[in-house]
Amino acid sequence: MSSAGTATLTGTELARPLSPRPPAHAVAAPLSGAGAASGSAGAGPRVIGADAPVPLGDGREVPYANFDYAASAPCLEAVHDAVTRALPYYSSVHRGAGYASQVTTEAYERARETVRGFLGGWRRSSVVFTRNTTDAMNLLAHAVPPGTTVVLFETEHHATLLPWKRAVRLPAPSTPAEAIGAADRALGEAPAGPRLLVVTAASNVTGEVWPIRELAAVARRHGARIAVDAAQYVPHRPLDMTALGLDYVAFSGHKLYAPFGAGVLAGRSDWLRAAPPYLKGGGASAAVTGGGATRWAADPEQRHEAGTPNVLGVLALAAACDTLTAAGWDALAEREERLLSRLRSGLAAIAGVRELTLWGGRGPRVGIVSFLVDRWNARDVALTLSGEHGIGVRDGKFCAHPFVRHLLDTPPTGRGEDAAGGGGGCGDDRSSAVRASFGIGTTEEHVDRLLDALARLAREPRG
């Protein structure tokens, strides 16, 4: 589009994903028909970088098989286009009289409405833009009233496990029914005062989906609230927080095919309105007097978004929400179920490979599978898959140390065990696993290549 053409763009147009225009290495996710059966490119959302060439240790290049979506998903083509469209008129939002500022402000606030609709939020719910899920959960921990009792499970990602001042940490439940019962008892035994149940919607380790509707009902029965970490859920399934009875939802753009550094905390406004600003500075303040007194913004979204926000990240996130919704969740889920079944049945057929699950092989789950290979260190598995087969997986404890130790039955040693193995203190010889996660852009060839490589590793003699 020419500069003359883009000069007439409005915030509405900037916030709308563009029509597909494939850049290099973009591949479409087949949704149905012959393309879906074969795993070849077809109609549907497209990601940038799928099948990009990567070098092997022997000097050859092969198309990349990305099984690391749960860490960060690749960028959707529509997201790339939305950011590109916004760049010529990028400006700081709010209070600006210039044309670019007005257009960007309109797009930014429309993105807030897009996210609210994507989550099924009620009209008066707050949508606060953050950096990621960790930031969102820390914001909520900052905003809970003093004396709030937080109930959660040891199975949570560290983003959800660690921010709270007064937490009751429940052991890993052996069944979904046990999770519901344990939450019921813990909330019933909690001292008087505000109570908050915090739970993941889908595990970042096993992919298993938690019974959030039933847990929300338990919370309501006790007059408590529920906050859901949906970071691993919303890239795979629709979520309606009003229908499910959820009070707060947090997720990250970088797991939703929008890797531009924005996240979301959505939910009830009252705790956010009553809390002091998460960050103090411009935007959060309504007035500052010469004597140093400050009147903070009453609106929770303004109050907790101090400073110049990540406008492009927010527009990217909204574009991802629109693109996935337009693609049709039924088609996306059907395709993912087919790939997941192929991967899990293939792993089960390889002697020496064991899938890790909390609740056994059945039950709903998203495209995340963690496993062990007999006689192999998890880090060595990941390095070999990359260097010899062009496959990217994640190894370690996936920022869910207590949960992975529970799955592997390896308690902490207290000797700095996390210093070795995978990066970031998340891997070691005693309590690490390999995780394969996938989404749009993953094909049956990728799955088959991973299974073939693991079968070779499992057969290889190890000292």
Catalytic machinery residues: 399
Residue 111 tokens read as: 């993105």
Give me 414's structure tokens. Answer: 């207290």
Start-to-end C-alpha separation, the chain: 61
What's the CA gap between 203 and 229, in Å, rounded?
Answer: 9
Distance of alpha carbon 397 from alpha carbon 404, whole angstroms: 6
Tokens of 384: 């070999």
d(CA 451, CA 343): 7
Q: How many residues does the chain have?
A: 463
Residue among 233, 14, 259 nearest 131 (CA): 259
Assigned token pair, 290: 């010469």
CB contact set of 124 (below 8 Å; sequence gap of 6+): 269
The total of other beta-carbon atoms located within 10 Å of residue 448's CB is 15
Q: Contact 52/64 with Cβ under 8 angstroms?
A: yes
For residue 350, give the amino acid letter: I
Amino acid at site 237: R
Sheet-wide strand order for 248-252? 126-130, 263-267, 248-252, 225-229, 195-200, 149-153, 167-170
Tokens of 17: 């994903």
